[in-house]
Amino acid sequence: MNYLDLTLSEIHEALVNKQVTPLELTKEAIKRAKENKDNAFEMIIEEDAIKRAEELSKHEVPKDNYFYGIPYVAKNNLSTKGYETNASSNILNGYVPLFDATVIDALNKAGAILIGKSTLDELAMGGTGTSGHLGTTYNPYDPKHLHLIGGSSCGSAVAVADSIVPFALGSDTGDSVRKPASHSGLVGLKPTWGLISRFGLFPFAPSLDHVGFFTRSVKDSAIALNLLAFHDDNDSTSSFKPKVDYLKNLSSDVKGKKLAVITEIFNSIEDEAIKSSFLKLIEKLKNDGAIVEYINFDNKLLNAIYPTYMVISCAESTSNNANLDGIKFGPYLGGKTYQEVMYNARTNGFSPLIKRRFVLGSYSLMRENQQELFLRAQKARRLIVNKCNEIFKKFDAIILPASPTPAPLEKGSNEKVRNDYLAADNWLAIGNFGGFPSITLPMGFEDELPFGVNITCEPFNEVGMFNIASNVEKNTGFAGLSYQNHLEKEVK
């Protein structure tokens, strides 16, 4: 056993008690990062991380600073000063930012040690972890590499699930933290839109984008949110709400809490293991005093989630990535006119999947289509959010399996726009539509692959969300889950 196999709060305790130093942790994390075979890293930051760890090891570890000396990983669409940040897209190869994202800055200041930048689906536009320019990122739970971990925050999920680090930053526009968390037995959180600054996050679709993160326990998630939730003048959408201490408010008492299960979504799930695991969990929640009701959402609205998500996110993405034109960013490949310069850079820089999304987005914004596509999607988004707000008037949370299946096989998966549609596979985007706080945590295993449950609440009800999540964690016993810990348990 190594300290890196513990949760962030446990490691912190070991640091405070001088059982381990930031330097030892960092060296081990870098070693593990190098040994990992799942294609999780765009870059491992060795020299600087060790220098920093050495410096931090000279001082007493402050008791109240959970991140002091903690090695972590950031998704490579978060701007890091001096370290190439390419969003796993060829068009940004070689781009070294001049500034740190607000979240990176906050972690730096707290004394956390960035040991690597993780892989993602190209520009975070995907859900499989297969479309980054370094190829597919695999699930540590399957050393044979048949299964995916999901995306787009695939590399960050690997880093935490494989105990390389206890904490990793991701981003979530549709479910890009919460879905891979489900496939890798992690706690994946995306808080209320505006709670964590997006300054320095490469925009995919700003109205849906969130900074999120992976941890191995609900407590760690609350600790991380304590650090990262604050107002930031650099992000005009950043919330002005007073700070809340999520750790202090953490309780697992769910007596009288009202939880809603969306019937249509639950019924559409075919995986028996997931279904029975969920039903068992619900029984346990009820035993602890929660009131659980099955409610109808409206199939029409549920069926609209995916097209609504695609239209809005693709439309916004065309605009957000228009700066990558070969003039300021992206490869300069020559051209007789400025149009040719842009055309050459963008044609060569983006993969076909991305260009496909841009075409979709552009098409839906065109004057003649805007009413029928973009504005209609906005309307659908509003209706879905209104429906959720109605639910939140009566319920503390929506609880559902985070995914209808465990990690999917690589074979047969693709990032193309699909015709087959399953609400249960896309419902997490509701959290992005309404900017709702939403957390995924491990619920069970099927054929050695984990799957998760998700809890989604009304905006700024993170305390309520952590409360229910904490009870779920108590009932599942999965606090601290990682691939290594899981193996060891199996052996015993």
Partner 1 sequence: MNFETIVGIEIHVEMKTKSKMFSLAPITFGDKPNTEVALLDMAFPGTMPRVNKEAVKNAIRVSNALHMTIDHELWFDRKNYFYSDLPKGYQITQQARPIGSEGYLEIDLDGEKKRIHVERLHMEEDTCMQHHFSDYTLLDYNRAGIPLIEIVSKPEIRSGLEARKYVEKIREIVTYSNVSDGKMEEGSLRCDVNVSIRPYGSEKFGTKVEVKNLNSIANVEKAIDFEAKRQSELLLMGKEVEQETRRFDEAKKETVLMRKKTDAADYKYFTEPNIPPIKLSEEFIQNAIDTCPELYDHKLERFLTDYKLNSIDAKIILSDVEFANYYDEAAKFTKLYQALANYMISEVNGYLNKNDISILEFKVEPKFVAELVELVQSKQINSSQGKEIFAKMVKENKSPLKLQKELGATLISDEETIRKLVLEVLAQNVTLRDDYKAGKTRAQGFVMGQIMKKTGGKVNPGIANKVIVEELKK
Footprint of partner 1 on this chain (CB under 8 A)?
78-79, 85, 87, 92, 95, 97-99, 101, 198-203, 205-207, 233-237, 315-316, 318-319, 321-325, 327-329, 338-339, 341-342, 362, 365-367, 370, 374
* 152 upstream amide cis, omega within 30 of 0: yes
Shortest Å, Cβ 337 to partner 1: 9
The set of residues, in sequence order, having a beta carbon less than 8 Å from that of 283 and lying 6+ positions away, is none
Residue 113 pairs with which residues in a beta bridge?
71
Please give the full DSSP string across 66-103, using - where no structure is assigned: TTTT-EEEEETTB-BTTB---TT-GGGTT---SS--HH
**Is 351 annotated in the active site?**
no
Shortest Å, Cβ 201 to partner 1: 6
Q: How many of the other CB atoms lie within 10 Å of CB of 50?
A: 17
Shortest Å, Cβ 479 to partner 1: 33
User: How far is Cα 251 from Cα 246, in angstroms, rounded to an integer?
Assistant: 10
CB-based contact 392:457 (threshold 8 Å): yes
Shortest Å, Cβ 323 to partner 1: 4
Q: Of 32 and 346, which has the nearer Cβ to partner 1?
A: 346
Q: Of 144 and 367, which has the nearer Cβ to partner 1?
A: 367
CB-based contact 181:188 (threshold 8 Å): yes
Shortest Å, Cβ 47 to partner 1: 25
Backbone φ and ψ of 238, nearest 5°: -70, 140
For 416, the token pair is 């193309």
Q: Of 294 and 338, which has the nearer Cβ to partner 1?
A: 338
Shortest Å, Cβ 200 to partner 1: 4
Shortest Å, Cβ 395 to partner 1: 27
Tell me the angle at which helices 374-394 and 352-365 cross, rounded to the nearest 10 degrees. 90
Given 88, 153, 171, 176, which residue is catalytic? 176
Backbone φ and ψ of 201, nearest 5°: -85, 125
Q: Of 200 and 442, which has the nearer Cβ to partner 1?
A: 200
Given 9, 75, 277, 438, which residue is catalytic? 75
The set of residues, in sequence order, having a beta carbon less than 8 Å from that of 135 and lying 6+ positions away, is 39
Q: Of 71 and 200, which has the nearer Cβ to partner 1?
A: 200
CB-based contact 425:163 (threshold 8 Å): no
Shortest Å, Cβ 72 to partner 1: 18
Given 88, 118, 131, 152, which residue is catalytic? 152
- H-type alpha helices, 323-402: 338-349, 352-365, 367-370, 374-394
Q: Of 334 and 477, which has the nearer Cβ to partner 1?
A: 334
Give, in order, the Cα–Cα distances in Å from 377 to each of 54, 68, 206, 307, 479: 52, 44, 16, 8, 39
Any idea what DSSP says for residue 124?
G
**Is 379 annotated in the active site?**
no
Nearest to 356, CA basis, from 306, 416, 397: 416
What single-letter amino acid sits at 136? T
Count CA atoms within 13 Å of residue 442 on its CB side.
27
**Is 176 annotated in the active site?**
yes
Q: Of 92 and 304, which has the nearer Cβ to partner 1?
A: 92
Residues making up the chain, counted from first to last: 492
Shortest Å, Cβ 387 to partner 1: 22
Q: Of 207 and 413, which has the nearer Cβ to partner 1?
A: 207
In terms of phi and psi (left: phi > 0; alpha: psi -120 to 50; beta: otherwise), the region of 47 is alpha
Q: Of 1 and 98, which has the nearer Cβ to partner 1?
A: 98
Residues marked as catalytic: 75, 152, 176
